[in-house]
Amino acid sequence: MSSSPSSVGVTAVRADTTKILADLRELMTKHNVDIYACDVVYITSRGRSIRPLEDRLLTCFVPFEIVVPSEDSHQSEYIAPVDARRAFVSGFTGSAGCAVITASKAALATDGRYFLQAEQELDGNWELLKQGLPDVPTWQEWVLREAEGGKNVGVDATLLTAAQAKSLAEKLKSRKGGELVGMDVNLIDLIWNDQPIRPKEPLRVLGLEYAGKAFEEKLSDIRKEIEKQKGSGLIVSMLDEIAWLFNLRGNDIPFNPVFFSYAFITPTEAFLYIDEDKITPESSEHLGSAVTIKPYQAVFDDVRSFSSVVATSDLKVLVTSSASWALTKSVGEDKLTTLKSAPIEAAKAIKNSTEVNGMRNAHVKDGVAQIQYFAWLERLLDSGVLYDEVQVADKLEEFRSQKKDFVGLSFPTISSSGSNGAIIHYQPEKGTCALVQKNLIYLCDSGAQFLDGTTDSTRTLHYGTPSQEEKKSYTLVLKGHIAVARAVFPKGSSGFILDILARQYLWQEGLDYRHGTGHGVGSFLNVHEGPIGIGTRMQYNEVPLEVGMLISNEPGYYEDGQYGIRIENVVLVVEKQTAHNFGDKKYYGFETVTMVPMCKNLIVPEMLDEDEKKWLNNYHAEVYQKTSGYLKGDELTLAWLKRETSPI
């Protein structure tokens, strides 16, 4: 990629980590730690109005096995700037990967979404482990190799799950006595002189007109699950689960309306562990006598005391697999039961009717904003004026901010022109990003938080004359997108089995993409929500899709150094009426809730069969019907919408 400011390909800022690593290794020696590992999380923001290191990734410690990107003390995917230790120590700002540091080596492992980004951002102190490629060790294998001879690995027990800690400890012990060291301090914090402070944003009460169900009812449902599981209580550490359970929202993590807290639910009491500075008069009145507020850190002593009291009982304290090693140690391994599925996560994934209607409304508002944006961008490019990727993304945020109940973005906008689109999770930085140009593909992956719902959509456009290769690639991706959108499947089916529908046409050409096809979406919550997904990860086969779940549909294709293509809609699982009912099962399908036109300029109509054309024309007709009324008086945008939604 050229580093010229007028070019589309840009060179990422490469950090110098020499002194950081030297300082860290000095501390490692003092603490008798031979290996220090920093596992990855995803944080956001384009870093324009805040410190460049504020939105980076979390330093965690080496779990031997991990299924999803590593997180903060609450296993969050996104993190607060204060927890962005991994980016500080390595310079790599991608959303997935693991940094491992020894006395003389440093390695960063990441997956195919971030190969290009990591190559640009890592300096010469680091070895890049490209996960998934032949003969490349996993970061776990690399750690164990370096731990030969009984070397110690330092860990912060709040940043590991119990299963991760147990697995790593056993593997280390088998390597001639290596030990997993639980440390009282985080070494990165000791060398990060200008580390951001921990946020203390006030709580927001989410009214029933948005939540659809009182938190007291939710508590009652969870207590039934505790009884069913023969538990004495349930520890909740996932931030979005706590926010959903109590109908509260916060602003402690960028783009995610959550707040730092723990919860402990017993058959008769509910405790919320939170910094009291966050409690407002409104939230205090909302919780009333049903919930006892206690200091954030008190959860460890409380669950220790509680487990001692019930030690003689057959009832165990319930935790989920996401609970930290520190929490489970406080309870005591012999006094707890780890649930295979998280009851709050499962309940939260199935939206009630209020939440479903709210998500539909939010996506219409969001669709109008994107239509205004894409029409504006076309006029801008036709005029010959060139804006960079950040400037145009800011314009999109401006359009969104004018919509009712807008709270903020749901993740940093991926605004990428030309070859930058091939970097799957590209985030433009002011001063180094590219100009958006008419003769290059433009990929925009964006979303918003509204009080009534969370949005996430991707559109790939070309405002000039695309090449035949670009049009063919786009149409192959579109065919896969339509195949998922039109899918009908029996009750009990998972997103794992649907993934092939999205990839089939690319596979026929020997092509593919290195990311999942879909993820769950929260309702004014995290844009990435478990436990469902569409993809090849085996955990996606563990939870079936149910009516009321919302999930993304986002196949893509990326030509390194040239362009990227992704088409993403959010879809709702609904029941389908079928001619037959084999096995007396219900049959499900999807309702598309995203309301934004596809790019007709990139479609090869001859590559679509009649059913695909029918789906596309019907979808475009629905987009026009639901959004055009909001554009009265804006004749230029309305004309753009009418053209883009006309039948093919």
pLDDT digits (tens, 9 = 90+) for 569-597: 999 999 999 999 998 999 999 999 999 99
Phi, psi (degrees; rounded to nearest 5) at 28: -60, -40
At 266 the three-state DSSP class reads coil
- Give the model's confidence band at 145: pLDDT under 50 very low, under 70 low, under 90 confident, else very high: confident
Residue 226 CA to residue 342 CA, distance in Å, equals 11
User: Which of these ranges, 157-161, 217-221, 227-231, 416-420, has the smallest mean pLDDT?
Assistant: 157-161
User: Which of these ranges, 9-18, 196-205, 301-310, 570-579, has the smallest mean pLDDT?
Assistant: 9-18
Residue-averaged pLDDT of the chain: 89
pLDDT digits (tens, 9 = 90+) for 320-378: 999 998 899 999 988 999 998 899 999 999 999 999 999 999 999 999 999 999 999 99
Residue 435 CA to residue 41 CA, distance in Å, equals 29
Helix, strand, coil share of the chain (percent; to 5): 40, 20, 40
Residue 25 CA to residue 97 CA, distance in Å, equals 21
Phi, psi (degrees; rounded to nearest 5) at 408: 170, -175
Sheet strand arrangement including 442-446: 414-417, 442-446, 457-461
Q: Does residue 200 carry a pLDDT above 80? A: yes
- Give the model's confidence band at 141: pLDDT under 50 very low, under 70 low, under 90 confident, else very high: confident
Q: What mean pLDDT is predicted for residues 545-566?
A: 98
pLDDT at 57: 28
The residue with greater pLDDT, 641 or 77, is 641
Q: Does residue 59 carry a pLDDT above 70? A: no
pLDDT digits (tens, 9 = 90+) for 594-641: 999 999 999 999 999 999 999 999 999 999 999 999 999 999 999 999
pLDDT at 241: 98
Distances (CA, A) of 142 to 67, 135, 430, 455, 548: 17, 12, 36, 38, 42
- Give the model's confidence band at 92: pLDDT under 50 very low, under 70 low, under 90 confident, else very high: confident
Who contacts 538 (Cβ-Cβ below 8 Å, separation ≥6)? Answer: 496
pLDDT at 26: 87
363 conformational bin, left if phi > 0, alpha if psi -120 to 50, beta if neither: alpha
The residue with greater pLDDT, 44 or 497, is 497
The residue with greater pLDDT, 33 or 490, is 490
Q: Does residue 8 carry a pLDDT above 80? A: no
> How many other β-carbons are positioned within 10 Å of the β-carbon of residue 145?
10
Note whether 641 and 622 are within 8 A (CB). Answer: no
- 313 exposure class (CB count in 10 Å sphere: 0-12, 13-18, 19+): exposed
pTM (global) more than 0.95:
no
Who contacts 106 (Cβ-Cβ below 8 Å, separation ≥6)? Answer: 17, 21, 90, 99, 100, 125, 126, 127
Q: What mean pLDDT is predicted for residues 152-178?
A: 79
Q: What mean pLDDT is predicted for residues 249-258?
A: 97
- 199 exposure class (CB count in 10 Å sphere: 0-12, 13-18, 19+): middle
Q: Does residue 517 carry a pLDDT above 90? A: yes
- Give the model's confidence band at 160: pLDDT under 50 very low, under 70 low, under 90 confident, else very high: confident
561 conformational bin, left if phi > 0, alpha if psi -120 to 50, beta if neither: left
Phi, psi (degrees; rounded to nearest 5) at 83: -95, 10
pLDDT digits (tens, 9 = 90+) for 430-447: 999 999 999 999 999 999
Task: Name 204's bridge partners.
Answer: 249
pLDDT at 312: 63
The residue with greater pLDDT, 220 or 424, is 220
User: Which of these ranges, 139-143, 303-307, 536-540, 550-554, has the smallest mean pLDDT?
Assistant: 139-143
pLDDT at 66: 22
- Give the model's confidence band at 488: pLDDT under 50 very low, under 70 low, under 90 confident, else very high: very high
pLDDT digits (tens, 9 = 90+) for 283-333: 999 999 999 999 999 999 999 999 888 766 778 999 999 999 889 999 998
Q: What mean pLDDT is predicted for residues 454-479?
A: 98
Note whether 520 and 503 are within 8 A (CB). Answer: no
Please report the domains of the chain, with CATH numbers, ordered by start residue.
Answer: 18-191 (3.40.350.10), 204-348 (3.40.350.10), 353-641 (3.90.230.10)
Who contacts 292 (Cβ-Cβ below 8 Å, separation ≥6)? Answer: 269, 270, 271, 272
